[in-house]
Amino acid sequence: TSGAIAPIESETTKETITELITYNGRIYVLSAPDRQIWRHSLTGNKLSTKNPWIKGSANELNEAAAIAIDGDVYVLTKQGGILKFASGILQSWQIAGTEEALYTRLFASPNHDYLIALNSSSKKVIVWRKTDGKLLAQYVLSSLDNLVDLVMAEDARTAYVTDGRQIYKFEVAPQ
- CA neighbor of 31 nearest in space, from 67, 55, 7: 67
The dihedral of CA 50, 53, 54, 55: what is its sign? positive
Count Cβ atoms within 10 A of the Cβ of residue 23 and give its class: 0-12 exposed, 13-18 middle, 19 or more buried: middle
Q: For residue 175, what pLDDT is reported?
A: 60
Contact residues for 72 (Cβ-Cβ < 8 A; gap 6+): 84, 85, 86, 91, 108, 130
Distance CA 86, CA 52 (A): 14
Question: pLDDT digits over 2-31, tens only?
Answer: 567 777 777 666 668 888 888 998 989 899
Q: How many CB atoms lie under 10 A from the CB of residue 32?
A: 18
Q: Which residues of the chain have pLDDT under 70?
A: 1-3, 11-15, 97-101, 156, 174-175
Q: For residue 78, what pLDDT is reported?
A: 83
What pTM was computed for the model? 0.84
